[in-house]
Structure 1
Amino acid sequence: METVLAFDFGLKRIGVAIGNTLLKQAQPLTVITSESNDARFAAIEALIDEWQPQRCVVGLPMHPDGAEHEMTARCRRFANQLHGRFGLSAVLVDERYSSAVLSQRRGEHIDDAAAAIILQQYFDDYAQS
């Protein structure tokens, strides 16, 4: 069994979800709203210390046709930073439709729920046993 942390990376907020490969059920965990990169990674480090994940999942945004855009590169870099700073495997998961699923929840911070959708997709599509 592996504990997995998932991230919905954004420039203003990072949504975080948690789950494990035994139950394969993602749960929203928190939203990191720190503005500085150092503060963001300090918050992530605290979560990693608390939950001891064996792997990270990062949502990879793309255009509907699968083409990459500016945020795609930023998310790839974020995943590489997670791997480099914490030594954890970082898996990229297509997140094209996670925001559409949550579009009814206007006015709320939905970043942790988006991270949970990304993690659930990882469990459903990638973490087959």
Structure 2
Amino acid sequence: MVDIVLGFDFGIKRIGIAMGNTLTGQAQPLSVVKAIDNATRFKLIGELIEHWKPARLVVGEPRHPDGAEHDMTLRARRFANQLHGRFNLPVELVDERYSSAVIPAKRGEIIDAKAAAIILQQYFDDHANIH
């Protein structure tokens, strides 16, 4: 069985979103949701979930290089909990410490979606036996 998985790069201003499936184990950038307010943000995410019908969601968990948590770690974890609560889907956190080494430091909409794809690809690579 092939499952669709959506990945999220949580940010205060924008949330990058990627999609992939368990057959190919390949992630690709999908879109960016601007975080106008929670209601709008989750409405747009809900529309993507309705369209793609993912089996699970993956959220990047930012940390300091030494693994220590910081403010964004807690925010990303809270976002993951909200996704689970609102959409009743399994949500997994992926350590995104080293994903920033692969993408340019300058942030932007395209970069946010690419970051989500890197996070989701890391999930696929770490769970190579899921398909």
TM-score band (shorter)? Answer: over 0.9
Could you say which residue in structure 1 is the equivalent of 2:29? 28
How far is 1:88 from its partner? Answer: 0.4
- TM-score, structure 2 normalization: 0.93
SS in structure 2 at match of 1:10: coil
Aligned residues with identical type, % of pairs: 63
Could you say which residue in structure 1 is the equivalent of 2:95? 94
Could you say which residue in structure 1 is the equivalent of 2:61? 60
Per-residue CA distance 1:78-106 (angstroms, 9 max, x = gap): 111111000000000000111221117x4
Q: Give 4+ residue runs of structure 1 displaced > 4 Å after superposition.
A: none
Within 2, Cα distance between the matches of 1:107 and 1:7? 15
Within 2, Cα distance between the matches of 1:20 and 1:36? 29
Q: CA, structure 1 residues 97+37, in 2 after alignment: closer, same or farther (shift >3 Å)?
A: same
Q: What is the RMSD of the two structures over their aligned residues, measured on CA atoms? A: 1.3
Within 2, Cα distance between the matches of 1:92 and 1:107? 21
Could you say which residue in structure 2 is the equivalent of 1:5? 6
Unpaired runs of 5+ residues, structure 1, are none
How far is 1:108 from its partner? Answer: 4.1
Unpaired runs of 5+ residues, structure 2, are none
| Amino acid paired to 2:112 | D
SS in structure 2 at match of 1:128: helix
| Amino acid paired to 1:57 | V
What is the correspondence of 1:40-55 to structure 2 with a 5 Å cutoff? 40-55=41-56
Paired residues in the alignment total: 128
Using the TM superposition, name which of 29-38 and 47-56 deviates more: 29-38
Q: CA, structure 1 residues 103+38, in 2 after alignment: closer, same or farther (shift >3 Å)?
A: same
